[in-house]
Amino acid sequence: MSIINTGLPPGEQAKGLFDQFTDTMEEGLLGIHEGIPVGIGKLDSYLSLRKSMLYVLGGYTGSAKTSAADELFVLNPYEHMLREGKTDKLRIVYWSMERKKVFKVAKWISHKIFKETGEVIPMKRLLGWVKKDQRLSEEEQRQVKALKPYFDKMFECIRIIDGRQNPTGIRKEIKRIALENGEQTKINQYEEVYKPFDPSVIWFHLFDHVGKLKCENGKSLKDTIDSFSDDTSNLTRDLYGHSALILSQFNRDISNPSRLKMGDVEPRLEDFKNTGDLTEDADVVMAIFDPWRYKVADTMGFDLERLRSKEGAKMYRSFQILKSSYDTEGVKTGLAFQPHTGIFKELPLPEQMGQTYNKVTDNSFFMTPEAIRYQTEKKMKEIQSAAA
């Protein structure tokens, strides 16, 4: 009796699904499927940037979801690959539908300068949105210009596309990228296969945010988002093996008086705006939450008043994995947030905070060893200069 004809060449057709699984398992033992860490404490045990995954991150306006997406899925993974000497194995297409690309670069420069020096240079100063006496000093200009080699190398593997897009345009561009880097074959009436030229490369698309999609063919925004979600899951992820992170706004249900009265303000899957298809299609759904917005206590037990800077900046967000198709869901952690630079760092448990509250608000909690060395040398120079 002959085997079922799948349309594949005889050699591949005879290879059963179990054999394909064991091949994948062997690749896993070699570390090929390990993924790239997101670089945030315990989240690294549950999240990583890997192939063929669809992630969704939700939050309301001003919750810092874009900063969180940049930190966890762009900047930290890039830094990891840079340290490993593997930047050629990561390709990111950043669909920035809400912000101009120059604003994105400014925020990333601010982020990098703090990591290297511990100096806070807000985006508004980098772009000159301040009075003359607040503009960049000569030393700050030197720091910015010194980053050119770093960012030139970064933008060899990260491409930013700004402006609103429609699903058809996005689908065509992703197909163009896929066919430029692999081969697509129709094997029968129902199936197509795609083989990348280099299977070790992770292709990742970040869409910020889905509410900014351009509607087409008279479709409503809901139908447009549903069409986009279908393309992203069936083509981008399942056919081409690319991964994607879709950012989405929350709807207004959290502010429903009955939920506020019950203290039920924790994000849930039903809070995602305009559509349910995104969360159904996604492998991982995450939420970032700012409890100050609804004037409620933090459910994890952090003292929110001690997590505000002297200027009133809110330096805390809670982060939760609402859904995970292949791992644990319900994971939640408290994150310190430096709003000017977009840096996040996992906090200790509330009962272990102690002086950490002060370290968050004076920014020392966010300091890297490199920044500490810079600040130490800077102080030594100031002492020597004063003594001269």
Mind listing the pLDDT tens digit for each residue in 59-82? 988 899 999 999 999 999 999 999
Task: State pLDDT tens for residues 2-36.
Answer: 555 555 555 665 566 788 788 888 888 887 778 89
Residue 154 inside a domain? The answer is yes
Q: Does the pLDDT at position 369 exceed 50?
A: yes
Residue 384 inside a domain? The answer is no
Structural domain for 272, as ranges: 36-287
Q: Which pair of tokens denotes residue 86?
A: 């593997």
Residue 210 inside a domain? The answer is yes
d(CA 296, CA 260): 8
d(CA 388, CA 382): 10
Classify residue 36 as exposed, middle or buried by CB count within 10 Å of its CB (0-12, 13-18, 19+): buried
Q: Does the pLDDT at position 347 exceed 90?
A: yes
Q: Does the pLDDT at position 119 exceed 60?
A: yes
Residue 40 has a pLDDT of 94
Residue 241 has a pLDDT of 95
CATH of the domain at 157: 3.40.50.300
Task: State pLDDT tens for residues 232-283.
Answer: 999 999 999 999 999 998 876 666 666 666 666 778 788 876 676 889 999 9
In 3-state terms, the chain is what percent helix, strand and coil (to 5)?
45, 20, 35
Residue 191: which pLDDT band, with cuts at 50, 70 and 90?
Answer: confident
Q: How far is CA 212 from CA 142, 225, 258, 304, 380, in A?
A: 36, 10, 30, 32, 49
d(CA 345, CA 359): 12
Residue 265 has a pLDDT of 72
Residue 1 has a pLDDT of 44
Q: How far is CA 291 from CA 37, 58, 234, 316, in A?
A: 27, 15, 35, 9
DSSP class of 199:
T
Residue 302: which pLDDT band, with cuts at 50, 70 and 90?
Answer: very high
Q: Does the pLDDT at position 112 exceed 70?
A: yes
The 3 state secondary structure assigned to 132-167 is HHHCCCHHHHHHHHCCHHHHHHHCCCEEEEECCCCH
**Sheet strands (E) in the chain:** 36-37, 48-49, 54-59, 90-96, 158-162, 182-186, 192-196, 202-208, 243-249, 284-289, 316-324, 332-338, 343-346
Residue 292 inside a domain? The answer is no
Residue from 172, 163, 332 nearest 240 by CA: 172
Provide the domain count of the chain: 1
Q: Which pair of tokens denotes residue 204?
A: 């990742």
DSSP class of 311:
T
What is the average per-residue pLDDT within 183-212? 90
Residue 24 inside a domain? The answer is no
Single pTM value for the model = 0.90
d(CA 87, CA 157): 7
What is the average per-residue pLDDT within 145-156? 97
Task: State pLDDT tens for residues 120-138.
Answer: 999 999 999 999 999 999 9
| Residues 6 or more apart whose Cβ sits within 8 Å of residue 20 | none
Q: What percent of the chain has pLDDT over 70?
A: 92
Instruction: Find where tokens 């100096």 sit.
Output: 119
What is the average per-residue pLDDT within 99-110? 95
Residue 223 inside a domain? The answer is yes
d(CA 382, CA 360): 25
What is the average per-residue pLDDT within 95-119? 95
Q: Which pair of tokens denotes residue 169?
A: 């345009």
Residue 3 inside a domain? The answer is no
